[in-house]
Structure 1
Amino acid sequence: MTAPSTGRSTHLDRVDRLILAHLVDHGRSSLAELAEAVSVSASSAQRRLRRLETEGVIRGYRAVLDPEAIGRALVVHLSVVLVDHTADTVGRFERWIVDLDGLVSCHHVTGDVDYLLRIDVADVHALDVLLRRTLAQIPGVARFTTMVATSGLVDRFTSM
């Protein structure tokens, strides 16, 4: 889960944004490829990249895995409503959920539900096990709604 924003704002100019946009889709680009893609020298691209990393704009690099290849082809979105919003209930739920097998993302949200989760599982049987033996057993959960993705149009970590 992403840490809450600290309210800090880093100045990003047009070239910084081009670098970030390129890295979102081409994270393994060489420095030369990155520089060429954003039309700056390799040394300028390197300085900017180091600054973006140091300032925490770029928090890391990841491999994007094929869900079918790793046995997690069923994408499930869950909305979760807690019985109350006390620190104890919220803390207990968050401690349970962060180590949940297959959890891709978990967001505390406003509105009619408290949390939105994305969990990737192998199949409908694995989903049934997840719902009956795991989520239904978490103390403080009033109800949850399951939505199974039937296709994926866009699936990015973030975009510029």
Structure 2
Amino acid sequence: MRFFSARGAQYHCRMTLDRFDRQILNLLQEDAVQTAERLAEQVALSPSAVQRRVRRLRESGVIVRDISVVDPKYVGRPTSFIVAVQVERERPELLAQFRAWLAAQTHIQQAFYVTGEADFILVITAPDTETYDALMARMVGENANVKRFTTNVALSLVKRGLTIPVPAEPAD
């Protein structure tokens, strides 16, 4: 169920998931294009019941979106960079501006606001180091609040995923 605050920000109420919902979530995370019929066979429900549950999981915000995972080397983005960014000041308006800038950059796959020495950790994909250098030059040039950043170049991929393990029963 979706709710809106007085300022129009969207938020979701916490939804209770039963064992069927949990099974469906795990199955959809493995293959989001499975038919309701195929899912129904695996969770012992009717296809229409599965469709209703999937619709409810989407409408309530449990399922955020369905995506296809693309191998970066086939689309000309073979190099990955993991970047730690430090900012000068953590004033809310400066952080909001920087977050908006990060969200608008197509080369940035993931951006985390974190604790520790860095303030943000970025996962960036690019065709080459020149493209990465240009992005970082823009980041520093367009965000005066960036103090410094350090870069790690990924040598090989060990694991890639966004799957969230959903236990069969809720944790106490």
TM-score by length of 2: 0.80
More displaced 10-residue stretch of structure 1: 37-46 or 75-84: 37-46
Partner of 2:37 in structure 1? 32
Gaps in structure 2 of 5+ consecutive residues: 1-9, 166-172
Matched residue type, 2:138? T
Structure 1 unmatched ranges of 5 or more:
none
**What letter matches 1:134 in structure 2?**
R
1:135 aligns with 2:139: yes
Instruction: Tell me, yes or no, if the aligned pair for 2:12 and 2:61 is still in contact at 8 Å.
Output: no
Alignment of 1:57-68 (within 5 A): 57-68=62-73
Q: Distance in 2 between matches of 1:59 and 1:146?
A: 30
Q: Which secondary structure does the structure 1 equivalent of 2:81 belong to?
A: strand
Q: Secondary structure at the match of 2:53?
A: helix
Closer/same/farther in 2, CA of residues 68 and 36 from structure 1, 3 Å limit: same
23-32 vs 88-97, which moves further: 88-97
Q: TM-score with structure 1 length normalisation?
A: 0.86
Structure 2 distance, partners of 1:7, 1:30, is: 27
Task: Kindly report which structure 2 residues correspond to 1:64-83, keeping only aligned pairs within 5 A, or say none.
Answer: 64-83=69-88
User: C-alpha displacement at 1:88, in angstroms?
Assistant: 3.4
Q: Please name the residue that 1:96 is paired with.
A: 101
Instruction: Give 1:123's aligned residue.
Output: 128
Q: In 1, distance between residues paired with 2:62 and 2:100?
A: 27
Kept after mapping to 2: 8 A contact 1:93/1:139: no
Identity of aligned residues (%): 32
Please say if 1:55 is aligned against 2:89: no
Cα pair 2:85 2:146 within 8 Å, conserved: yes
Deviations 1:5-38 (A, max 9, x none): 9584221122211111111110111111111222
The residue number in structure 2 matching 1:146 is 151
Query: How many aligned positions are there?
Result: 155
Residue 55 of structure 1 aligns to which amino acid in structure 2?
S
State whether residues 82 and 89 of structure 1, in contact with CA within 8 Å, keep that contact through their aligned partners in structure 2.
no
Q: Distance in 1 between matches of 2:12 and 2:64?
A: 16
